[in-house]
Structures are given as C-alpha cells and as structure tokens.
Structure 1
Amino acid sequence: MTAAVPLAIVVALAENGVIGRDNALPWRLRTDLRRFRDLTWGKPMIMGRRCWDAIGRPLPGRETVLMTRSRGVSPMGAHVASSWEEAKALASRLAAGMGSEEIAVVGGAEIYRLALPETDRLHLTRVHDETPGDVLFPAYDAGSFRETFRERHEAGEADEHAFTFIDLVRR
C-alpha cells in the first residue's frame, strides 16, 4: 500500500551520518528545532518508540503515529501502529482529517530505513561536524533525488555547530 499523501523525511544528521547518541540529539541547534516545528506543524508524524521516548510527550499542533512492536503500549497523545503498513494507513487517515498534504517521518533509524523507498521528500539538516553517536541515518540513493533548496547557517549562540538545510525531492 502506498501512502495516500506524500511522505517527507525530516532529519538532522552529522557529516558521518550520526543522528543520535544515547537516545537524544547529539547537538544543540535551536534554528534546526524551529525548522522541525515548521516542517511538521499541522501534519501527522510517524516515529518509532525510542524517538517517542526521547521526546517524552506529544508535540502540539501535530498528531503522532507511534510505530512499535511492543504489545499493550498506548501512550497518551499518540496513535499506535504495530507495522509500517499500519503506520502509513493511520497517518494517511489522520492527514485527511487534518487537511494535511504530507506525512512527516521523523525517526529513528529503522523508521527512516522503512520510509526511504517510498519517500517523496527529504528535509535534511546537514550538521557540519563528525559528531560521535550510536544511531546512523540509513544509506540512500542520492541520485534518486534532486535538490530544491539549500541554506547554510554558521555556528552561533543558539547553534553549537554550523549546518546546512537541504531539501530534496524524488526524481
């Protein structure tokens, strides 16, 4: 089954592919958090259990589809799915009800791996650092996407590393 609405991955990753460390973001980038909010606002988000645990609560202005294999999990403020197909179907129904034209896929690594073959857009924040970590973004065929936007930001008071926003759409 294909999602009724386009899938968009939203991810920040270091130059070495790291996206997490000890179930948390391994950097402090306030500008990226604002972009995350803007890209996901008013949309259903699909995330895995560890991502949900790291955030610790439902995010305002969004609906969360929590994909987990754990039985009996029903955290307040999340819709639970036990498979990728179920998560996409649930997110598609939520998108229709919200009037959203996109489903945001927000992590972690296994959810990204499942989503990549079907993803229509990638919203990357490329962190210009070789940050150590224990979770990596999965490999993907960059030739399957074309760049539509790029904006570099330097490190500063609110952002501990330089980074670049990059938007890609499937060819």
Structure 2
Amino acid sequence: MSDAAWSEPVRGVGMVWARSTDGVIGADGGMPWHVPEDLAHFRQVTGSATVVMGRRTWDALPPRFRPLPGRRNVVLTRDPSWAAEGAVPVHDLATALDTDEPVWVIGGGQVYAAALPFADRVSETVIDVQVDGDTVAPTLDDGWQRVDDGDWHQSRNGGVRYRFVEWSRRS
C-alpha cells in the first residue's frame, strides 16, 4: 500500500510514532535515533492535518520546527497560563480531538495512552534497534489489525533498518 493512501486518518483520529523493535519511543525527552526517512514519512502522514501533542513533546521539538509548519498544532497542557506562538493550548483530550478535521496524535507517551481508545489507525515506523528509553509505544491489542507490514529499508543515515507499519482498528 502506498504512503499516499494513508495520508489521513480513516475516520478522524490517527496516531503516528517511531519505535524501536522493543517498543521504545523516547529517551530523556527526545528520540534515541535519527532516521531522516522517518521524519519525511511523518511530514507526509501528518500533511496539513491537526497534530495533537503534549507540552513536553512541543518542548522537545527543535525551536526552528515549532510550530510544525502547515499543520494546526494543538498542545495539551495542565498549565492554564502556558502559551507559545503557533500553538493552540488545550487542557483536556476531548477538546483537543473536537474538530471536523483529520487529527494525528504525535506524542508523548501519556497522550498516546489517553488517545488510544479514540484512534482509528496507527502509522508506526519500526526502527531495527534496541535502545534504552523511558517512554514506550502503546500496546495494540487484538482490536487492531495490521493492514500493511511495510518492507525493510536501510536508512541513508548510518544504515539502520526501518519499516513503515500501518494498523487499523477492527470494525
């Protein structure tokens, strides 16, 4: 299946992440690898949709990429006084997901866990490494089906293997 076929959530809420083969998605507030092809995939998948993230994920983005260009950047925060140029601060997940536009949840771990019951699909990049980390991807149970296993590719950045895997919630 082509990436273009997966450019929007099927029914509204998608989740996108990159994880190691042992499930790690983050370490010390960042990603424990750099795979340029994954970043390009992320840009392609999230397109011009609304992206929903936690405040720590916002803070982890390099300042030159905040807000993520071409997308409405919704940031979940518990701090009622928090504000950042280009961010739409919200204080609960229901408000973050209340839109008629396609939504992609982009992290972090707590936001993924809270949003999983509302998601219809997951686009994940599996990075063929095992790393230490402090944040792991949600576990997808038998309510999810893998719709595209993706082929393994070699990154031009150090030769690490990666693949794009697509999941859909079972009807």
- The reply to whether TM is greater than 0.5 is yes
| Structure 2: distance between partners of 1:134 and 1:9 | 19
Offset from partner CA, 1:15-39 (integer Å, 9 cap, x none): 1111011111110100000000000
Structure 2 counterpart of 1:71, from 66, 80, 83: 80
Contact 2:155–2:162 (Cα < 8 Å) also in 1 = no
Q: What is the aligned partner in structure 1 of residue 29 from structure 2?
A: 23
Give the percent of matched residue pairs that are identical in Structure 1 and Structure 2. 32
1:42 aligns with 2:42: no
Q: What is the aligned partner in structure 2 of residue 158 from structure 1?
A: 157
Does the residue aligned with 1:87 lie in a helix, a strand or coil? helix
| Structure 1: distance between partners of 2:129 and 2:105 | 23
Q: What is the aligned partner in structure 1 of residue 7 from structure 2?
A: none
Q: CA RMSD in A?
A: 1.4
Does the residue aligned with 1:147 lie in a helix, a strand or coil? strand
| Structure 2: distance between partners of 1:24 and 1:140 | 22
| Structure 1: distance between partners of 2:46 and 2:146 | 20
| Structure 1: distance between partners of 2:149 and 2:68 | 27
- Give the aligned residue type for 2:84: P
1:85 offset after TM fit, Å?
1.1
Q: What is the aligned partner in structure 2 of residue 88 from structure 1?
A: 97
1:160 offset after TM fit, Å?
4.7
Offset from partner CA, 1:54-105 (integer Å, 9 cap, x none): 113101111110001012001000101101111112xx15x2xxxxxx2100
Structural mapping, 1:1-150, within 5 Å: 6-55=12-61, 56=63, 57-89=66-98, 92=99, 95=101, 102-141=102-141, 143-150=142-149
- Give the aligned residue type for 1:29: V
Contact 1:31–1:159 (Cα < 8 Å) also in 2 = no
| Structure 1: distance between partners of 2:81 and 2:58 | 15
| Structure 2: distance between partners of 1:11 and 1:32 | 9
1:159 offset after TM fit, Å?
5.4
Aligned residues: 157
Offset from partner CA, 1:124-154 (integer Å, 9 cap, x none): 111111111111112231x112222222233
1:106 offset after TM fit, Å?
0.3
Q: For residues 52 and 159 of structure 1, do their structure 2 counterparts lie closer, same or farther at Cα, with a shift above 3 Å needed? A: farther
* TM-score, scaled relative to structure 1: 0.86
1:109 offset after TM fit, Å?
0.3
Q: Which structure has more helix as a fraction of its residues? A: 1
Contact 2:150–2:164 (Cα < 8 Å) also in 1 = yes
Moved over 4 A (4+): none
